[in-house]
Amino acid sequence: MAKRKNYDSEFCGSLPLNHINVVQDYGYLLVLSKDQFSILQLSENASDLFEKPLKSIPGTLFSDFTDTSIIKSLSERFDQNSKEKFPLTITLGSRKMMALAHFKPEYIILEIEKADLPTEHSFTSVYEEVKYAMAAIEAAETIEYASQAAIHELRRITGFDGIMMYRFDEDWNGTVIAEEKDAPELEHYLGHTFPGSDVPRQARDLYLKNPYRLIPDRDFTPVRLYPVMNPVTNTFIDLSDCNLRGVAAVHLEYLKNMNVQASMSIRVIDNGKLWGLIACHHVRPHYLSFETGAVCEMLSSVISNRISSITHKTQYDADSQLQQLQTELIAQTYAKDDLWDGLFDAGEVRLTDLFKSSGAATQIGPALRTQGDVPDQDTLENLFLWLQNKQDGKVFSTDSLPEVFDEAIPYAKIASGILSIPVNPERGEFIVVFRPEVVRTINWGGDPSKTINFDPDGKKYHPRASFKLWQETVRNTAAAWTPQEVAAAENLRAFIFEFNTKKSRV
């Protein structure tokens, strides 16, 4: 009889992923000064670009190696205090390459694509791809259809062997809600849930800065920066929003355990918060150009906007219905001129209808009155006494009463969730509605309690090796109370106070 657990990881969430100080080898990284655009740091493989010994490059002017038009463009963007990374084409010697520029208060970071730009570069073909994908996503009316459309279009554009989209819950566990795969080496996880520790807090924070994360080959050779310390800040450079940022060894091992050679993760944002991720997997190395990455970044915004639009419409409809029921309930109570008759008895609407509950109890004065499925009288009286001792004059709610009130354990089937409205809490007078237990079976992608395994010496750690189905049954919990329902209960508390005050004056 398991209770709901939180599988997020404080340990993994403390790793300094943004100061890893190495980059992946599918590109070059340069750090330029903000005044003369001199080269402060560079990835060690970037010496190939300049055809000079590595140690002789820091301190030289970037203008000595590229066109003045590039320097002018960088200068203008820096003067405009641009906070977004922006793409540009740079020429170094005989090579023309795509780059991404990041403008920091004290320096500029350039991420340079290793592959040369193709001779023919058609905006029209890219626009057609994006427009078609946008139309498919924006036509979806439900989250399920939007998610399936999103992964289908992304797979068509990126060519990954498999893509799945998962949605985070309140504990940051991610449940796969859409999937499309054709490689036999890749397991199917539709409907499976992955624990919050798989995408720990610090990694989630980085997705708020970077729309996607590409690892073309998990067996890449990490490339160090030279010099190691940034000469301006005298610290490791912050690579939070850099696509080339290196990868923690534990994550590379995680990909290996999933039979994934290349991966890409794309964020889904709702109301400024990470709502979910789209995970793209390939069984062989799979490189995407900066241009395709930019398309994925754009589609990340399109998907996020569509998910937000659907979510907000669903919430608006639910809020409107809740508001209508509450208005009818208050009008009904005024008409009957009695709290119990107005809120609970055989009117058009009952309090249990408003809160989608299966039972209710109230103790106002000496009378204990009940409706529907509720615990026995002794348990109810002790519950009201417990509420009185912990009351703060506000609405109290929980979707797992047995966890906080032991006497409710025998009544979990009918009273796992409660919403309590204080009427006169000093005298132990409350209105309480109950929700029944909802037994849930969670299909985990591997045992969620075995997310990190340490070597005997306690120094080196590894991710779990198995993602096979592991089922957990969660009991003693009810359907969660929404913030809108709690707000409606607060409004009713104010109404009840006003109603009782008017009655006492008559």
DSSP letter, residue 261: S
Give rounded-to-5 percent helix, strand, coil for the chain: 40, 25, 35
The whole-number pLDDT of residue 18 equals: 55
* Closest C-alpha among 11, 14, 4 to residue 452: 11
DSSP secondary structure string for all residues of 34-55: SSS-BEEEEEGGGHHHHTS-GG
The highest-level CATH class for domain 337-439+476-505 is alpha beta
Phi (first) and psi of residue 337, to 5 degrees? 55, 35
The whole-number pLDDT of residue 407 equals: 95
The whole-number pLDDT of residue 454 equals: 64
Instruction: Say whether domain 12-312 belongs to CATH 3.30.450.40.
Output: yes
**Cα dist. 22→41, 204, 495 in Å?**
12, 20, 61
Matching fold, domains 12-312 and 337-439+476-505:
yes
The whole-number pLDDT of residue 1 equals: 39
Tell me the domain boundaries of the chain: 12-312, 337-439+476-505
Residue 365 φ/ψ region, left for φ over 0, alpha for ψ in the -120 to 50 degree band, beta for the rest:
left
pLDDT tens track of the chain, all 506 residues? 345 566 665 545 445 555 678 999 999 999 999 889 999 999 999 998 998 899 999 999 999 999 888 888 888 877 776 677 888 899 888 889 999 999 998 899 999 999 877 655 566 677 788 898 999 999 999 999 999 999 999 999 999 999 999 999 999 999 999 999 999 999 999 999 999 989 989 899 999 989 999 999 999 999 999 999 999 999 999 998 899 999 999 899 999 999 999 999 999 999 999 999 999 999 999 999 998 999 999 999 999 999 999 999 999 999 999 999 999 999 998 988 888 888 887 678 889 999 999 999 998 777 888 989 999 999 999 999 999 988 677 899 999 999 999 999 999 999 999 999 999 888 888 999 999 999 999 999 888 877 666 666 655 667 777 788 888 899 999 999 999 999 999 999 999 888 888 776 65
The whole-number pLDDT of residue 418 equals: 97
Within 10 A of 106 (CB to CB), how many other CB atoms are there?
11
Q: Give the angle subtended at the CA of 175 by the CAs of 170 and 180, to the nearest 5°.
A: 150
Secondary structure (3-state) at 234: coil
**Cα dist. 496→57, 260, 490, 493 in Å?**
76, 59, 10, 5
Please, where are the H alpha helices in 280-372? 290-336, 339-343, 351-354
- Residue 392 has which token pair? 């703060």
The whole-number pLDDT of residue 506 equals: 56
